Structures are given as C-alpha cells and as structure tokens.
Chains A and B, each alone.
Chain A
Amino acid sequence: MNLITCKNISFTYDGFPAVKDLNFSVEQGDYLCVVGENGAGKSTLIKGLLRLKKPSSGTISIENGLMANEIGYLPQQTIVQKDFPASVYEVVLSGCLNRLGIKPFYTKKEKTLVEENLLRMDIIDLRDRCYRELSGGQQQRVLLARALCSTQKLILLDEPAAGLDPMVTQELYELIRKINQDMEITVIMVSHDIHSAVQYAKHILHLYHTQLFFGTTADYKNSEIGRRFMGGGFRA
C-alpha cells in the first residue's frame, strides 16, 4: 500500500527551479533515503512532502487518513533553538500539540506518551535539563522524541546527523532503524552521508535538481550512479 505517491512534481525556490520531474512512491513501513549534493533540492522536497511548499507542477497524493497531525518531522536546527531556554520535557511535550485539537492544555494521556518516548530515546534522565545545555547528539534525541510524539505513521528527517561526530551519528542511525523496524513507522530521511544511507535504507532517491535514481538500495549499489557517488567521485 502506497503511503505517498509523487507524479512529475517540480518545485521552485525564490522563482528558480529547485527540483523537477520527480516520480517516486513510498510504501507503508518503508525507509527512504533522499541523497544528493548540497543544494540539490533535498530539503525543498521535504518541505513539499510536509505541505509547507506547494509543488509548481505535478501531484503529490497522500493516502487517505494521513493528516498533517499524524506526521513527525525532525527539521534542521535553527539559530533560535541554540540558546532557547526550555527543559527537555517542555520541548518533547510540544510534539503532542497536534493531538490536542481545540483543547488548550495537555492531559495525562499526552504526558504518558512523553514519558514513553523519553524512555525510547534513552533520555529520561535528561528530562529536567535545559535544552540549550545539551550536546548536539542529545539535542537530536530530544527532537526525535518530540517527532515521535506527533506521529504514529510517518517521520521525515532533514539531515539528522549534521554536525555530529561519527560515534554519535551511528547511535542516532540505530535509533532511527529501531523506529522504523520496531514501531513500524515509515521513515523518509534526507542525508548526504551516502554510506549510512545504503547501510540502513530500503529505498534510495538520488537527486540533483532532477531525479537521477529511484529504486531499492541493492539496485542502487549496482547502478553506475550509485557506484560513482559512493566511490571516490563524491564531491562535497
């Protein structure tokens, strides 16, 4: 069953074409990695899938029942967040906002969900710590826990490992794998770390202003573009 199907979609960015002619689909329980160089249009595509940006042409059809309030999102960190005075608990709780409907306050149900996700991300001891005082890896876990609070079906991650050291990056990818396998949440991740992408993802979408490859990870490894991108040909 396809969760998301994209047909011939294109996006413009500030009037210039960013990506064009994308055709791909994402199944329930899939793990799709969107790879490509910086400025290839990866983040624009994610914004489009989140309905923050309208495609200039083509259609994105999303399976009935997948509402905006069932999507989890891990955005790239902003400057605002770097010195934001909030506790870990407050940040994760804010992920439950889309469950509230018109209620003004969180109930016990949301608070239990926060506890569960803090445990899942192994950050329960950090719950009263200040977000801005955490390490980069810890901050990403907090934001991942927040994203889990807002979804049961689909999570989109935009360069989750940006700026993290290799050890922490590995731990983060393991967590994402668990989310995909154990919780059966569909994962769509943008990354320019191609080696981890082929290690974890089930499908690969390679962009460079247009679609260079879409298919399973195994096919990608054997394709010419895949070999070139993974081998010495990587231009950062």
Chain B
Amino acid sequence: MLDLLKEMFSYPFMVRAIFVGTIVALCSSLLGVSLVLKRYSMIGDGLSHVGFGALALATALNMSPLTVSIPIVVLAAFLLLRISESSKIKGDAAIALISTGALAVGVMIISMTTGMNTDVCNYLFGSILSMSQSDVNLSVILSVVVLLLFVLFYNRIFAVTFDESFAKATGTNAELYNMLIALLTALIIVLGMRMMGALLITSLIVFPALTSMRLCKRFKTVIVNSAIISVICLWIGLTISYVYATPTGASIVLCNIIVFFLYWLIKTVKGVIIHDK
C-alpha cells in the first residue's frame, strides 16, 4: 500500500492530478449542496456539455483550452440561470436543448478537424494525464477565490438556498447571489472537466450533496460531510484509475455510487430501528 502511494507520488502528472482533483472535488461539493437544493443540478450538466463544445473549439483553433472555455461556460451559466428562473419558458427542456446542442456542435467540430480519436474519449470520460502545470496554477487561484467567497457569503448562500422569496422580500439581493453561485459553478466545471470528463463532471456536484443529505440534519454538517465524501472518493477513484488504467471520471463516480448506497442503507436501517421502537 505504502509502496503504491510512493510510486504514485513519484510521477509529476499524478501529483498534479491529485492536487487539482482535490481542489475541484472540495469546491464542487460545497457548491453542490446549494445547487441540488435549489433544483439547479441540471445547470451543472448543461454547463459541462457546453464546456465540451468549447474544448472542441479550442482544439480546432489550436488555442489553450482554458482561455476559450472559461468565458464561454461562464456566459452559458448566466444564460442557463436566466432560463431556469423564467417561468415562461420550460426551464428543464431549454437546458436539455442547450446541452445537447453544444455537444452536437462539439462533435461536429471534432469530426471535421482532428477526427474521432482517443482525445475525444478523454474529453468525454476524463483522463488522469490531462493536468498541466498551468492548470495547477490556475486551480490554486480559483480554489482560493471559491473557498473565500463561499465562506464569506455562507450565511447569504444559506438564506437564498432555503427561501429565495423571503430573502428577496427582506432586502437581500438574491439575484446577485444566484449569479455568484452560477459563476463559481462554471469555473469549477471548466477546471474539473478534462480530468473528470464532460459527461461525468456533474456527478462531483450531485453525488456528495445527495449522499450527505441522507443522514445529515444541519446545513453546516451537510456541507462539511459532502466535502469529506467528495475528497475521499476522489482519492480512491484516482488510485483505482492509476492501478487499473481505468478512465478517471468513471472510477471516481463509481466510488461515489458505493458511498451513496452505504449512506442510504444506514438511513434505511436506522429508520427501521426507530420504527420498531
């Protein structure tokens, strides 16, 4: 076991993957609780598909992936937020429209330029090798920004998540905090997308939050718990991915599924015991 860890950490790409992965897992789980409770999980999914399109565009233009995808995904985040808040358009259908549309555009760009190859597979399902030194630098800055904003605005995020109309009525600028949540989500998705894969990055947002909601009864413990679950699952998943050469994203999601069922089982057993008393 120790030898395995030593070996893993001897490769710079693994150190980078673990470092960036931990940050992405931490930040996405914090935001995830709010997104899941606000019924915004589909926005995360839509964003990752838009991110895939942006990534394909960047490759075709031979530009740095992050410089192209960050502005596109941030813009898409604001757009999706507007759509889901508007009661006149069917929000969920509009999100499906945008996400499948972006995916199709991405696939078209790829097939007309580089053609379908392993790179595409990596974009879709994640690769452990994808993190560069500039990603590491960016993720340090981003994680500091996300964590700082989250802690500073924690009380406001709670209020807006629990009851937006009360928050608005009593003088809180709910739209501003919704936009803040959307912005942070967009950044985290772009950062984690190449490692987790465009199709699987949403799982980092949804799974830890839903898992800890099985058992936790306070908002603060839900958040702390999902951060811990998220980071531990990422570590285990990365190790599996390294040892068995499996796609990174899928390995991490598998860990999350197992933990989810564990929590669900504990809750059910607890429920039965309480019921019997």
Contacts and interface: CB of A to CB of B under 8 A. Distances in A.
A71 B169 contact: yes
Contacts of B152: 104
Interface residues of A, number: 38
Interface residues of B, number: 31
A50 B171 CA distance: 9
A229 B170 CA distance: 33
B216 interface: yes
A97 B169 contact: no
Contact of B217 (A80, A87, A106, A146): A87
B153 A104 contact: yes
B121 to A, nearest CB: 37
Interface in A78-109: 78, 80-81, 83-87, 90-91, 93-95, 97-98, 100, 104-106
Given A85-B222, A104-B155, A130-B217, A73 B162 contact: no
A67 interface: yes
B277 interface: no
Contact of B171 (A69, A83, A105): A69
B270 interface: no
DSSP class of B's interface residues: helix, strand, loop or mixed? helix
B213 interface: yes
Contact of A68 (B37, B87, B170, B216): B170
Given A50-B169, A72-B170, A94 B162 contact: yes
Contacts of B216: 85
B169 A68 contact: yes
A97 B218 contact: no
B38 interface: yes
30 contacts: A14-B87, A14-B88, A50-B168, A50-B169, A52-B165, A69-B170, A71-B169, A71-B170, A71-B171, A80-B38, A80-B161, A80-B162, A86-B162, A87-B219, A90-B218, A93-B155, A94-B158, A94-B159, A94-B167, A97-B155, A97-B167, A100-B155, A104-B153, A104-B154, A104-B155, A105-B155, A106-B155, A130-B217, A130-B218, A156-B169
Interface of A: 14, 50-52, 67-69, 71-73, 75, 78, 80-81, 83-87, 90-91, 93-95, 97-98, 100, 104-106, 129-130, 133, 146-147, 150-151, 156
